[in-house]
Amino acid sequence: MAKIVVDVMLKPEILDPQGVAVSAALPRLGFTFAKSVRQGKRFEIEVDGEPTPAQLAEVEKATEKLLANPVIETFTVRVEK
């Protein structure tokens, strides 16, 4: 069984208030490494067997239609072993 992972992020030009809040909270806890933080979504999709190129193309299509909103978000699709 393989896992297809879809990562969805807000486009860089779209304000991410959640990421801003996280990056403001880190230094309060003594973590000073972060220049900035952006928060996104991750979908893990299980499929039987090794994903075929056709299956991955379907996932791309589904992501464009439903999982991500291309108006404000970008995404990547990859297979995790």
Partner 1 sequence: MKVGVVTFPGTLDDRDAARAATHAGTTAVSLWHNDADLKGVDAVILPGGFSYGDYLRCGAISRFAPVMEKIIDAANGGMPLLGICNGFQVLCEAHLLPGALTRNHELHFLCRDQKLEITNNQTAWTTSYKVGQEIVIPLKNGEGSFQCDDATLAALEGEGRIIARYVGENPNGSRNKIAGITNERGNVVGLMPHPEHAIDPLTGPTADGLAFFTSVLNAMVK
Using CB under 8 A as the criterion, which residues of the chain lie in contact with partner 1 when the complex forms? 10, 13-15, 17-18, 21, 66-67, 69, 71-72
Q: What is the DSSP string of 20-72?
A: HHHHHHHHHTT----S----EEEEEEEESSSPPHHHHHHHHHHIIIII--TTT
Closest separation in Å from C-beta 65 to partner 1: 9
Nearer to partner 1, 2 or 74 (CB): 74
d(CA 67, CA 9): 11
In the complex, least distance from residue 1 CB atom to partner 1, rounded to whole angstroms: 24
Q: Rank residues 12 and 30 by Cβ distance to partner 1 and give the closer one.
A: 12
